[in-house]
Amino acid sequence: MNTFRRNRVVLTTIGSLGDLHPYIALALEMKKRYIEPVIATSNTYRSRVESLGIEFRPIRPVMPEQETPEYRRMLDGVVDPNRGAEYLFKQILVPAVRGMYHDLSSAIRGADLIVTHPIVLAGPLIAQQSGIPWVSTVLSPASLWSAFDPCGPPNMPWIHRVLKGRPTMARLVMKLVKALSSPWLTDR
């Protein structure tokens, strides 16, 4: 009797195809190495993931169907250069954390590893609660805050020039951003 058991890795992401595709690439490589990948993401991507022979698990938030007025309103809110990040957290992510936690609790059954995108807010909670090893990934330089190589939002291209070579000033800006954005993480 063969008792070989494949390792099961749950990769979880939320966002656009630019957020999904790196996890698909990882999942396809895992399959080549006899690792059982599972992608947990928005139901919008179910057919794309399953068509590649990758197990799919839906997680909240539930996203509106593309090309609908609801989708257009959501997209307009997220890509707003001044308030997009705030909209993303306050209107989409934070209200869905409890549901996301529930969905991920189901998705990780039998998992040996959890790999999360930075905005899967329930990911670290699930990893801590379950004791399953966890890897957090970063897909965007904006997620890697550095006082020595600061980046700025697209609507403020000048900020990089102002902060580069001034780590003390960059640290102050990082503290200000954290102070301004921390209220986004509270449910009303």
Q: What is the pLDDT of residues 88-116, one digit of tens each?
A: 999 999 999 999 999 999 999 999 999 99
CA of 126: how far to CAs of 10, 37, 138, in Å?
12, 18, 18
Tell me the pLDDT band of 81, cut-offs 50, 70 and 90: confident
Tell me the pLDDT band of 34, cut-offs 50, 70 and 90: very high
Predicted confidence at residue 188, as pLDDT, reads 55
Going from the N-terminus, what domains does the chain have, and what CATH number goes with each?
7-139 (3.40.50.2000), 141-188 (no CATH)
More confident residue, 150 or 95: 95
Predicted confidence at residue 134, as pLDDT, reads 97
Please give the model's pTM, rounded to 2 decimal places: 0.83
Please give the average per-residue pLDDT across 124-149, as a whole number.
87
